[in-house]
Structure 1
Amino acid sequence: MDVLIIGGGIIGSSIAFELAKRGARVVVIERGELAQEASSAAAGMLGAHSEFATDHPIIPLALASQALFPSVIAELQELTNITVGWNEAGMLKMATTSEEYSELTKHYEFWRRIQPQHVRWLTSDEVTQLEPHVRSEYGAMYTIDQQVDAKQLSLAFARAAMAKGTKFLPYTEAYDFIVEQERVVGVKTTSGSLYAKRIIIACGAWTPMLAEKLRLSLHMYPVKGECVSVMTETPLLQATVFAKNGCYIVPKANNRLVIGASAIAHSFTKNVQTCSVHQLLTRAMQIVPAIAHCTFEKTWAGIRPQTKDGNPYIGAHPQYSNVFVVTGHYRNGILLSAITGRCVGDMLEGKEVPFDMTPFSLTRKGGAHALHH
């Protein structure tokens, strides 16, 4: 095969789709089922404007990826007939305290300078007109940020990659690499050895364990995010609501609201704590009081991959040039999925990537990676 991808989440699947479209023979291995872990746990916000309030290396990628989604989703749907829950109602970024209001106004001013056509400030009365069930004492910043069903989008990337010839091997775990004459030629898996010209490690928070097999220490850590969902008799929201205190409320199909998310660092456990549920619902009811009368549906948790400096790793191994590491997208894996596939495709083809990828290099200054012997 040309390329072996370790990891069947949204990042691995988007890369597989892009490479398959370019004619590569691709195999994806996944230790569990496709589109699991953080890819299925995410709320699906494409928050290019809501996530960043100051200059950040991810912003050019985030804006480019967000702009790609309408055409990408149309392409995926044509190939797979999977509906991904595309919602263009926008997002309300809100403050719930005076301190948050000060931060939010700076956030708004930052984007007003860069993309004034994509953000606007709403007074409390304007918020009420737009979203009658939202309590807004301080007003809000409205952005064009969309949202999707994260699991369905992940599955759509995978199924579209299959339609283009990619082979997926679920329940196949990689545990070591095959190195011959200072080159990685294959991967040892629970289903036997697999050989490929190029190997991409894209298994989220579990990437560091495999990278260590190639003497590469990545300064990453898992962050557990817990979520709650409730059902309403009638729709309460059209737009996504995202408070500066970290609470978000995302309206989904069939009058379902997803409320998230906690952020518990250095945890691989996926249990949901009672205190987290209490905190999430309390914050949500502060913003949308009618949630108090909704029907509780379920809770879940996902493990998100975070890096020490907050930037993902997207690039070649410093010693083995045919091995690429693509991970560490943290809360932006869904948003960055479309552009990540294209960037990695360009890298593997030796083309110039139309972005500054230095901040995402495995050897970046301050990236806190270590190659050891």
Structure 2
Amino acid sequence: MRKHFDSLIIGGGIIGSSIAFQLAKRGYKVAVLEKGKIAGKASGAAAGILGTQTELTEDGPLFRLACKSRSMYQTLIPELEDLSQLHIGCRNNGTYKVAVDQDQESELKRLIERQVGLGEQAEWLTIEELIEREPSVSRELRGAMFIPKDGQLEANELSLAFAKASVTLGAEVFEFTNVIDFILKDGKALGVKTIMGEILADSVIVASGAWSREVLERTGLTLPIIPVKGECFTVIPEKQLIQGTIFSHGCYIVPKRSGRVLVGATVKANSFDERVTVEGLSSLMEKAQTLLPDIGKAEWDRGWAGVRPQSADGQPFLGEHPDYKGLYIATGHFRNGILLAPVTGVLIADLLEGKTDQPNPFGLARLQSSEKGVLL
């Protein structure tokens, strides 16, 4: 193993792998250090929804960042598939954000007006129009906000594709390699200590998802990140039930290329527990059948859980450590890690190269310097 790299990335999920891909494209000697298997945690457990307009309802830096990231997939997916020889399974059938009552209908119509005003595409479908497009949805719904650009893909394959593409471009990936500590001197990060020995680098990037807080505490920084458990399951219907993704409060239903239908996701804060529970899955089943009655007749496939990183203010942390030069942080993406992966890789690579001349709304400056870990 090389003992010196241009950049070390701690974490082999989709965020770390996207950063590795972008840096390798720019000629950096990169190593990814993953304590388990690549995409073995939240990245491999995600539903793969590119929910810019579905998940984010207010204009602001995060919404604009998400729009940019979503648009990057058009050229990025063919590039990743070519370099990795993996099929990412992108489907652009849009998302239906459904209303189950009059209040939700009014809320969604206001949201459509705001997003159209921002130049995005969205339209209201009456229940009759929705059923014409998706005959299997419940007749009890009020209608839906249709978002044509919010597609979906295979999250696990995408995560692996980023990693394999980065290796094709010269990066090195080390699975089952736990980082024990950082090598810090005179306000600068010089590398890390691992079970394989010390590894030096010009820059170190922490992209450890929900485990980033634990990793960074070794530097004296308590990052306000909490783990949020989410459970999902898949079923195999006898016939195709839906074309587009169905999204509602507390439940989404995603038709996958294999013919399976994915249902997610529960939300349990402050939990690293990755066990699948009867309580969690039964609540999802009930919600799914309310939206798509025939899903109750589908064959059971499997269930699983993942742990997502949520920041205290709902914004990801993308920037340099407040105390140590050369130590960068990329975490806190919560439910939007798949969506924000492309732009995160570019943003962190640009930060390393000093190419950003605009204020960074996602940087660590929003932490109080006198009391690290408290948001301003």
Q: Which one of 137, 140, 145 corresponds to residue 134 of structure 1?
A: 137
Q: Which one of 275, 298, 304 corresponds to residue 271 of structure 1?
A: 275
1:180 and 2:192 matched:
no
1:53 and 2:57 matched:
yes
Residue 167 (structure 1) aligns with: 172
Checking the alignment, whether the CA contact within 8 Å between 1:93 and 1:141 is kept in structure 2 is yes
Q: For structure 1, which segment, 180-189 or 26-35, has the greater mean C-alpha deviation from structure 2 after superposition? A: 180-189
CA offsets 1:51-80 (integer angstroms, 9 cap, x no match):
112223211110001001010001011111
CA distance in 1 between counterparts of 2:79 and 2:56 reads 28
Deviation at 1:272, TM superposition (A): 1.6
Matches within 5 A, 1:209-288: 209-243=214-248, 245-288=249-292
Residue 357 (structure 1) aligns with: 360
1:106 and 2:102 matched:
no
Q: For structure 1, which segment, 53-62 or 300-309, has the greater mean C-alpha deviation from structure 2 after superposition? A: 53-62
Checking the alignment, whether the CA contact within 8 Å between 2:66 and 2:339 is kept in structure 1 is yes
CA distance in 2 between counterparts of 1:274 and 1:307 reads 28
Please tell me the residue identity of whatever aligns with 1:362: L
Please tell me the residue identity of whatever aligns with 2:133: L
- Aligned length in residues: 368
TM-score, with structure 2 as normaliser = 0.95
1:125 and 2:128 matched:
yes
Q: Which one of 207, 210, 235 corresponds to residue 212 of structure 2?
A: 207
Please tell me the residue identity of whatever aligns with 2:363: S
CA offsets 1:254-279 (integer angstroms, 9 cap, x no match):
21000000000000010122111111
TM-score, with structure 1 as normaliser = 0.95
Matches within 5 A, 1:263-342: 263-342=267-346
Deviation at 1:250, TM superposition (A): 0.3
CA distance in 1 between counterparts of 2:51 and 2:206 reads 25
Deviation at 1:367, TM superposition (A): 10
User: SS state of the match for residue 330, structure 2?
Assistant: strand
Unaligned ranges ≥5, structure 2? none
CA distance in 2 between counterparts of 1:369 and 1:273 reads 38
Residue 161 (structure 2) aligns with: 156
The structure-2 alpha-carbon separation of the partners of 1:266 and 1:187, relative to structure 1 and needing over 3 Å to count, comes to same
Please tell me the residue identity of whatever aligns with 2:231: E
CA offsets 1:268-325 (integer angstroms, 9 cap, x no match):
0101221111110111111110001000111100000000000000000111110001
Please tell me the residue identity of whatever aligns with 2:137: V
CA distance in 2 between counterparts of 1:230 and 1:367 reads 49
Please tell me the residue identity of whatever aligns with 2:126: T
CA distance in 2 between counterparts of 1:306 and 1:122 reads 32
Residue 91 (structure 2) aligns with: 87
Unaligned ranges ≥5, structure 1? none
Matched-pair identity in %: 41
Please tell me the residue identity of whatever aligns with 1:88: N
Deviation at 1:369, TM superposition (A): 6.6
Residue 195 (structure 1) aligns with: 200
User: SS state of the match for residue 204, structure 2?
Assistant: strand
Checking the alignment, whether the CA contact within 8 Å between 2:367 and 2:373 is kept in structure 1 is no
Checking the alignment, whether the CA contact within 8 Å between 2:69 and 2:339 is kept in structure 1 is yes
Q: Which one of 349, 364, 367 corresponds to residue 345 of structure 1?
A: 349
Checking the alignment, whether the CA contact within 8 Å between 1:218 and 1:369 is kept in structure 2 is no
The structure-2 alpha-carbon separation of the partners of 1:356 and 1:71, relative to structure 1 and needing over 3 Å to count, comes to farther
1:65 and 2:85 matched:
no
Please tell me the residue identity of whatever aligns with 1:129: E
CA distance in 1 between counterparts of 2:371 and 2:161 reads 33
Please tell me the residue identity of whatever aligns with 1:260: G
Please tell me the residue identity of whatever aligns with 2:207: A
Deviation at 1:102, TM superposition (A): 3.0
Deviation at 1:100, TM superposition (A): 2.4
CA distance in 2 between counterparts of 1:357 and 1:98 reads 39
Checking the alignment, whether the CA contact within 8 Å between 1:308 and 1:367 is kept in structure 2 is no
Please tell me the residue identity of whatever aligns with 1:128: I
CA distance in 1 between counterparts of 2:332 and 2:11 reads 13
Q: For structure 1, which segment, 55-64 or 105-114, has the greater mean C-alpha deviation from structure 2 after superposition? A: 105-114
Residue 26 (structure 2) aligns with: 22
User: SS state of the match for residue 179, structure 1?
Assistant: strand
User: SS state of the match for residue 107, structure 1?
Assistant: helix
CA distance in 2 between counterparts of 1:217 and 1:149 reads 33
CA offsets 1:86-133 (integer angstroms, 9 cap, x no match):
0000000011233322322222222121125x1111111110111111
The structure-2 alpha-carbon separation of the partners of 1:65 and 1:103, relative to structure 1 and needing over 3 Å to count, comes to same
Checking the alignment, whether the CA contact within 8 Å between 1:18 and 1:342 is kept in structure 2 is yes
Deviation at 1:366, TM superposition (A): 7.3
Please tell me the residue identity of whatever aligns with 1:122: L
The structure-2 alpha-carbon separation of the partners of 1:371 and 1:121, relative to structure 1 and needing over 3 Å to count, comes to closer
CA distance in 1 between counterparts of 2:371 and 2:105 reads 37
Please tell me the residue identity of whatever aligns with 1:255: G
Please tell me the residue identity of whatever aligns with 1:159: K
